[in-house]
Structure 1
Amino acid sequence: MSSTVREFRRTRILVTGGAGFIGSHLCRRLIDQGHEVLCVDNFFTGARDNLGDLLNHPSFELMRHDVTVPLFVEVDQIYNLACPASPVHYQFDPVQTTKTSVHGAINMLGLAKRVKARILQASTSEVYGDPVEHPQTEEYWGNVNPIGFRSCYDEGKRCAETLFFDYWRQHQVSIKVARIFNTYGPNMHPSDGRVVSNFVMQALLGRPITLFGDGQQTRSFCYVDDLVDALMRLMNSPGDVTGPINLGNPSEFTIRELAELVLELTGSRSELVFKPLPQDDPRQRRPDISKAKTMLDWEPRVSLRQGLERAIPYFESVLKLG
């Protein structure tokens, strides 16, 4: 037997929230690389349809499970993506959202500790709140309202980060923490309330495009393929690279610029309608990705125009199926 064959060891990887938007793309990429994937999801926001092409794959397993309940499996790596990420969904049951972030982190960290697996936490740029530092670096502690409508998500994710670093310090669990900024692409829930899906669906349906405030608040938009590449690079980075590391596209756009680009690419004649700004909605959001460039040799490759050109056909197909 050759040394190459003898040294090969298939990696068994758990992806929580794997039937969701980012999770489904991650599962597919891991399978393409020859890994064995256990996808866990409670299907609150995820969907089997996102994984249709993987369901019969011999290296893929799908399990209905809620991460607030302990899970006993044998795996080498854990990507913890389980948590509703859009305001519409995480505000539907805010207590459960907090439980998913906090209890879910405890359960997945406990699993990682037992089986000595490396674990990556999908944290969020929302830990920075409405930032007074711009762009946001990982050293910035944030400006978060602890008792607002968004707090179940923001503070849940902040607490999860605390748990990850305490398990690292106290139990030597191998951790990775990614702070994910706005990400978009195929498999987004068409009615999740996030700005890209909102604008594209409104434009395709010929409905008014809803902007909050004056539309001058800014966001940065990362295409999902770029984000998945970053997550995998972080997971497989040297052990002393724990994060947190910002992952997102540093190109900054106003919400109005996004709306106008969506109108151009869809050919829609929808009008722009302005409504009051929601409570605690950040005015600026752009990542400093210096650490990702240096430690992961990563930066986004897909521009907003290119990404929208790839994503819009997905939303068109959703409307046709509907």
Structure 2
Amino acid sequence: MTLVLFAAGARRWPLYRDHLTDALAEAGVTARLVSEAPEPEAVDYIVFAPGGDVVDFTPYRNAKAVLGLWAGVERIVGNATLTQPLCRMVDPAMTEGMVEWVTGHVLRHHLGLDRWIRGEPGWQQVAPPLARERTVAMLGLGELGAAAARALAGLNFRVLGWSRSEKRLADLETHHGEAGLERVLREAGIVVTLLPATPETENLLDARRLAWLPPGAVVLNPGRGTLIDDEALIAALDAGHLGHATLDVFRIEPLPDDHPFRHHPKVTVTPHIAAETRPASASRVIAENIRRGEAGEPFLHLVDRSRGY
């Protein structure tokens, strides 16, 4: 019988236990699911999330894979004890959640809804531009970025996609590299950052690149807290160059109450909810990878450790 260790934390165990049990049965995998393994060498698969019960993977020498519950792997990929294959979470429900968060906040800023929600006085009948008159830069064209970009394009926004290395998507205009980044930022009224956290993407939006954005541009960051230079962002907002920043991810989480983002009039904070992992759908992704491992098939969403994602 396949032994699956749930090492994603005691808080998550009751949320996932029944869903994982059902998903494994539906996938045709005869498995024993445990939250503690008295004999680490007997474990076949580890379901993992940072802050869980496993830090040293050395005792689990027979494990066939470590299956993450998070899309991001920056908190585990550098673990020297982890020699087993590592798979990140790519969950359809997570993608749906991200698309809805990005679309909602893009439309909010595009339509200028904040002024009406605040109840600004007066009667100024100034219509917002149409979506086709607004350019959105999507930085990051992985699973989440591509899905969000396509949703925005479906609403008629002009979407410019960007990735560090060249990536061609049949239905989107794409750019890459430093020259491509400058081009998309200089044209963007709204920029969305959906890149992984790697040494190459840290402070991607620094003071120099934020200055490329047109006056009044809006920044949305549901990707990783390290993608934007916090001090440079606040400076650009204070100077009036940027119109607003809506942020879902931060260098320190939970975001401290005294952090400048908490009280800045041009910053909206959401508590890392843009793409939460849903136990029911994530369990099916985990079960499918275990089925694949037992059948000798390639794992889904295998992490390239040299690239960090």
Shorter-chain TM-score: what band? 0.3 to 0.5
Give the number of the structure whose alpha-carbon radius of gyration is greater.
Answer: 2
Higher helix share: 1
